[in-house]
Amino acid sequence: MTISSSFFEELKRRNVVKVTVLYVVAAWLLLQITDVLSSLLPVPEWTGSFVFILLVVGLPPALIFAWIYEFTPEGLRRQTDVDRNQSITHETGHKINVLIIGLLVLAIGVVVVDRLIPETQPVVEVPVADVAQDAEPIDRPATDVEASLSAPENSVAVLPFVNMSSDAEQEYFSDGLSEELLNLLAKVPELRVAARTSSFSLKGQNLQISEVGDVLKVAHVLEGSVRKSGDRLRITVQLIHAEDGYHLWSETYDRTLDDIFAIQDEIASEVVAELKVALLGEAPKARDTDTEAYLLFLQARHMNQMRSADGYAQALKLYQQVLAIDPQYTSAWSGLASTYLGQANLAERPIQEGLELAREAAARALAIDPDSAAAHAQMGRLADAYGGDLAEAARHFERALALDPSDPEIQRQVATFLFGIGRLDEAIELLNYAAVRDPINAPTHRNLGLAYEYAGQLENSIASLRTALNLNPAAFGAHSLLGRALLLNGQPTEALAIISEEPSDYAMLELPLAYYALGRIEESDAALAELVEKYADHALYNIAAIHAYRDEPDEAFAWLEKAYAYRDAGLSEIVSDPLLANIQDDPRLQSFLERIGRSPQQLAAIEFEADLPQ
């Protein structure tokens, strides 16, 4: 017998080999337990690595211990002090065998549970700007179109993936990945994908999958979870049939961050295949970019969607970092344009400066990608509300809608353009279309209420605005708009009560009207004076409209001139605004409309077709 074989036999006799196997299996199980606990407890991301290092360092001492010592009936003794005839290493080895078998069975169970049972998905939290965290469950009358709409088999909602990382600040990544998947699937014309606002508004409501399907009018739900540690990712995804909760497909991806774009493509491809969608063209692919730029972009978009002064400031810095890494990142340029415009609207940046920067950023996006729907919509809004070039606005909006007819933000902007050029029936049709496909989007119902008001359909306006408030009690401006609709409907007392509940300064635009309608002239004057003092540079058109409603035409036209000089975006709605009823027959109004390019003859010449998929 050779020395090596003799040494190996001694290793086996002293159970060193079995201890090695036992240690490795036990270490693997401990790492799995650490991984699970790290996702549930607020521990540092390096916890798993630390435990792994300890286990590696602990292996040599464990083997040395097994070589030197033996368990005997008298206790632990050195191997050299034990008579071979009295050694019970074979009995100890048998016990170790039992332990190894038990741990292996447990390990197999862990693998089965980890791979076959999907991680739980609590449903999602919405940005404050869209739906309030404490909004009541949805209980609203359906529109005629909505009531007749059944969930087609090619429909799917993408719920926000659960952040399973130990760092709560990684929420932007799990939400961002969900949104990227939603956008990717929405590019498949043969699929009907629930809009982001509606899908994300269900976060935290703990609805059953069947309830999600009923609310969003979809036949399928895609949900999942994300665990990110350093550059390592574990993404679990499952596609579920909403009606019966049957899992059509599930998968777990253990990859690195560099694989994130390939993972998105794989998931989208699987969803399309499982829904048996016959593609008429190539499947869309995620844009591959530098992973650092991608992470910064997700953070920037997350901050921009907060629609606050601080959110815009942080988004601006992040978008600039993205573009320093990847100057060709079209979505980052569009996001930057949105941020500049948001800052201008909040008076965080001079209006002209903000408009010019927004225009430059949107133009850069179109120079890189002429088919950027978001950039076309931004250019359309800038041309319509701030530039006075309605023909250019029509071209951009028509192109944006053709490129991405499913985007609710584009739908709302196009609808605003339509009732700004007096095509109210088309605006209402478009917003009803948007509301059916994005049923939990409070801003869509708010805009629909405004369109109905402009069309003189006040009962419908009131119903839509109440729906917006039911979806989000903090919906920006919805209390005030509802109050105005009630006022125009001959209910000034109810109007004042609801306007007084408006949480934002938007109430200042409507209080002078309500007080005036109630005959409380001094209070109307005081409320108007307060508005002028605080927002004279940002509510020029609104002040003009208040004077018109109070039958003060000279003051109304004086403020309209100021609004024109300042390029007030409110002028884009002048042709439909019912508050101007008292000056409709004043020849000065027709002259003014001609100067701003919105006379009946000029509007009739605007060519625009809003073709929507069925």
pLDDT digits (tens, 9 = 90+) for 417-474: 998 899 999 999 999 988 887 888 888 999 999 999 999 999 999 999 999 999 889 8
User: What per-residue confidence (pLDDT) applies to 70?
Assistant: 64
pLDDT of residue 2: 52
- Are 440 and 157 a contacting pair, CB within 8 Å? no
Q: How many helices (H) and strands (E) does the chain have?
A: 27, 8
- In tens, the pLDDT along 597-612 reads 999 999 999 999 877 6
Residue 240 β-bridge partners = 221, 247
d(CA 389, CA 397): 12
CATH of 144-288, one of 3.40.1180.10, 3.40.50.10070, 1.20.1250.20, 3.40.630.30: 3.40.50.10070
Q: What's the mean pLDDT in 169-173?
A: 78
**What are the φ and ψ backbone dihedral angles of 455, each rounded to 5 degrees?**
-85, 0
Between CA 156 and CA 218 the distance in angstroms is 5
pLDDT confidence tier of residue 140, bands split at 50, 70 and 90: very low
More confident of the two residues 8 and 140: 8
**Are 531 and 512 in contact, with CB atoms under 8 Å apart?**
yes
Q: Say if residue 145's pLDDT is above 50.
A: no
- Residue 114, exposed/middle/buried by CB under 10 A (0-12, 13-18, 19+)? middle
**Which has more confidence, 131 or 230?**
230
Q: Please, are residues 203 and 126 in contact by the beta-carbon 8 Å criterion?
A: yes
More confident: 581 or 188: 581
Q: Is 199 exposed, middle or buried (0-12, 13-18, 19+ CB in 10 A)?
A: buried
Residues 6+ apart with CB under 8 A from 607: 391, 394
* Percent of the chain with pLDDT strictly greater than 70: 78
Instruction: Determine the Cα–Cα distance for residues 357 and 370; give it in Å rounded to an integer.
Output: 19
Other CB atoms within 10 Å distance of the CB of residue 211: 16
Helix (H) or strand (E) holding 255: strand 247-256
Question: Within its chain, how far is the Cα of 309 from the centroid?
Answer: 19
In this prediction, residue 133 carries a pLDDT of 33
59-68, 120-129, 308-317: least confidently modelled range: 120-129
Decide if pLDDT at 476 tops 60. Answer: yes
* Contact residues for 272 (Cβ-Cβ < 8 A; gap 6+): 185, 188, 191, 279, 283
**Spatial CA neighbour of 82 closest among 15, 145, 155, 127:** 15
- DSSP-derived secondary structure letter, 280: S
**What tokens were used for 419?**
């009732």
- What pLDDT is recorded for position 42? 47
| pLDDT given at position 275 | 78
Instruction: Quickly list DSSP for 152-179.
Output: -TTEEEEPPPEE-SS-GGGHHHHHHHHH
What pLDDT does residue 93 have?
A: 63
Mean pLDDT of 247-265: 84
pLDDT score for 47: 63
For 258-287, what is the mean pLDDT?
74
For residues 27-31, give the mean pLDDT. 74
Looking at residue 117, what is its pLDDT?
43
Closest of 93, 100, 103 to residue 16, by C-alpha: 93
Query: What's the mean pLDDT when you consider all of the chain?
Result: 81
What mean pLDDT comes out for the span 202-226?
Answer: 85
Distance between CA 171 and CA 164 in Å, rounded? 9
The owner of tokens 């989007």 is 441
Q: Which residue has the higher pLDDT, 581 or 476?
A: 581
Summarize pLDDT for 342-398 with one digit per residue, the tens.
898 777 888 889 889 999 999 999 999 999 999 999 999 989 878 778 999 999 999
Query: Rg for the chain (alpha carbons), in Å?
Result: 32
Q: Find the mean pLDDT for residues 298-314.
A: 89
Half-sphere exposure of residue 327: CA atoms within 13 angstroms, side-chain side: 3
- CB environment 68-104: b (16+ within 10 A), e (fewer): eebebeeeeeebeebeeeeeebeebbeebeeebeebe
pLDDT tens for 80-132 read: 655 555 565 666 666 667 677 776 767 666 555 554 444 433 333 323 233 33
Residue 143, pLDDT > 50, answer no
Mean pLDDT of 579-607: 94
Q: Where in the chain is the domain with CATH 3.40.50.10070?
A: 144-288
Q: Which long-range contacts (CB under 8 A, 24 or more apart) does 563-568 make?
A: 564/592, 564/595, 564/596, 566/351, 566/537, 566/540, 567/351, 567/352, 567/355, 567/386, 567/387, 567/388, 568/540, 568/541
pLDDT at 461: 96
